[in-house]
Every structure is written in structure tokens, then in C-alpha cells.
Amino acid sequence: MSTTQTKETVSWPRLVADIGGTNARFALETSPQQIEKVEVLPCNDYDTVVDAIREYLSRVGNPAISHASIAIANPILGDWVQMTNHHWAFSIETTRQALHLENLILLNDFTAQALAITKMPKEELVQIGGFKKVPDAPKAVIGPGTGLGVSGLIPSKSGWVPLAGEGGHVSFAPFDDAEIMIWQYAKKKYGHVSAERFLSGAGLVLIHEALAAREGVKRQKLTPAEISDRALSGSSPLCRLTLDIFCAMLGTVSSNLALTLGASGGVYLCGGIIPRFIDYFKNSPFRNRFESKGRFDAYLAAIPVYIVLSKYPGISGAAVALANHLGEVDEISAEPEKEAAAPVAAQKAAAGNENA
């Protein structure tokens, strides 16, 4: 699937895509990080991923494509891909041949999200608490959407190295009595209760369902958007409580990831859910819960959290991955940025906690 190319012989445009459980986002990269002709196609409208790709290419004039990169909401463990939250299943090599491509690479969607962070302008980030990120320190990337994506960035001499994993499926640990009740409700329903069971669109519905059962009220069949809309408008106290608990749970899981990676380089919140209610999120229980880790409160208080506003970070990250695959690391891959470290007082407080 890979070939040896020089920068002079690599052709443009390139096909780049970000495929989730609900939508497939396609674009053409016409030069390094120049993304054009973005189209969003519902996955359920197409029997196969090849059908969706061919439809996109027909919409943009069937350009000659030699190289393609697809970020997908799934682990990539070999040639065969079976999507977790959709019915598409396919061979990477067979897909490459069907589309007459010279190179086709696939990567986990949140590995792509992590790579996109390396190219993201400050204007596309909203900081939620913490101080300045520590230079050359690991970064955590997490985001609820159709599922819960998790990744990270580790600094190296040649740039940032993204982590590929399935952290959304780690076991969820409840924080308080309300979350214990919700966890027990989910446990009876699913057996294993992962973080993704709560921190996703379907998770918002599950939290609401559990709270309604506790209150003994007949649960309305609301969509995630309807729950968040009613929470934001104040028309439903139950929906508002649902959204508050969702934000608190995200704080717990995000801080767990920050501690695991030592992510003093920042935590980046991606996905399509949080950007819909940024002002509410700023005043939600998220940050308080993020910092509620006993002896490591001060350590986490220093870590900045950023909401990613970029509309198509997975596409940008897929382009970075393809450039790396084609040996263009010096052209596209970013070096770890230099930025002021956290205030000395915060560093000392964190160090004190480590020794506690």
C-alpha cells in the first residue's frame, strides 16, 4: 500500500476524509494543509465506504487522485476494518484497488484529531481554566461525539508523536452518589460501563433516562440535541441536571487522562458536542471536577483545557498523516511549539502534591 515518492513526484490534489459513526466528511487537499471542497455525507445513505467516496468524487468533478488518507472512528489493527458505531466493513487494500489509488492510509479518527492540534491556530482554541501549557510536555486529546475519542501527543526530537488507542472504552468510575446511581442503571442495561456510555450523544440520553427513572417520572424520548436545548433554555430542570452531570463526568475522565499522560502541555476537547454550548460549559461543573483529585488538585489546576473550535480537525489531521507517510515530515509535521511554562507557584504546588 505504500510506495517510495519524492516531494517533486507526489501529485495533488489528495483525498482526505474523516469518517464517524454518523457522517463521513470528505475534502480535497490541493497543497499542504490547503483544504477545499468539503462535503458531509450521511453514512447511512451508502452501502459501502467505496460508494460514499465515489459519490463525493463525482460531486467535485472526479479529479484524478493518487493519494488518500482516511481518519475513521475505529481501531486500525490490520487490513480489515469493521466500524464500531456503523455497519461499514472493508479491506483497506481492496478499497485502494477499487479506487485506483497509489496510496491509501487509514488512521484512528482521534489520532487524526491529535495530529491536527499540531497545526491549529490559537484563534480556533478557547481556554477553560488553568495556566499556560508547559513547553514540550505531553498533550491530551479527548472528545465526545457519536462515541468518545481519546488520544494524546508525545514530544520527540522530530516533532509530535500521536498516540493511537481506544481510551473511550475504559471502565467508568462514578464520583458521587448521583453518578453511582446512574452507573448502576447502566450496569444493569449493558454489563460493562465504559466512559463512552456516558460521554457521547447516546450517553446524554442514557444519563437523562437514569435520572428520570430515579425521579419516577415518565421519560420523554428526547434526542441529545433536544436535551441540551432544553437544558440551555432552562425549560427542563431534569435536562439541565443531565447536562451538568455530563460535563462533570467529562471533567473526571479528562483529568484521569491528563494524569495518565502527564499532560501539562494541555488538554484539548474535540468533537461536535461541547462547541454547541461553550458559555454554559465555562460555568458548568467541568473545571471543578477536573481539578478534584485530592493530593493532585494543584497539579491539575495548572493544566489548561482548550475547546477546539476547528470545524474539520479530523480532515486536517488526516492530511498531516498522509504527508508523514509520503516522507514530507519536514514540510508538514510541526515541531513542538515553545510557550511559557506555568507560573512557578503552580509548579511548586504540583511538586508538593507529588511528595504528599
Say whether 22 counts as a known binding-site residue: yes
Which amino acid is it at 356? A
Q: How far is CA 172 from CA 167, 196, 212, in A?
A: 11, 8, 21
- Please give the Cα distance from 180 to 148 (Å, whole number): 20
Q: How far apart are CA 336 and CA 326, in angstroms?
A: 21
Residue in 41, 73, 72 with CA at minimum distance from that of residue 56: 41
Establish whether 19 is an annotated binding residue.
yes
Phi and psi for 225 in degrees, rounded to 5?
-65, -40
38: helix, strand or coil: strand
**345, burial (CB in 10 Å: exposed 0-12, middle 13-18, buried 19+):** exposed
Cβ partners under 8 Å of residue 307, min gap 6: 125, 126, 128, 269, 274, 275, 278, 281
| Cβ 342 vs Cβ 302: under 8 Å | yes
Query: How buried is 62 (Cβ within 10 angstroms: 0-12 exposed, 13-18 middle, 19+ buried)?
Result: exposed
- Reduce the DSSP state of residue 2 to 3 states and report it: coil
Residue 18 labeled ligand binder: yes
- Return the sign of the alpha-carbon dihedral for residues 38, 42, 48, 52: negative
Measured between alpha carbons, how far is 118 from 160 in angstroms, rounded to an integer? Answer: 7
Check whether 17 is labelled as a binding-site residue.
Answer: yes
Instruction: Give the span between the Cα atoms of 272 and 311, in whole angstroms.
Output: 8
Q: Is 20 annotated as a binding residue?
A: yes
Write out the three cell numbers for 86. Answer: 456503523
Grid coordinates of 34: 490547503
Strands (E), the chain: 14-19, 23-31, 34-42, 67-72, 80-82, 89-91, 103-108, 125-128, 139-144, 148-156, 159-163, 267-269, 305-308
Q: Which residues make up each annotated binding site for ATP?
A: 17-22
Q: Which residues make up each annotated binding site?
A: 17-22
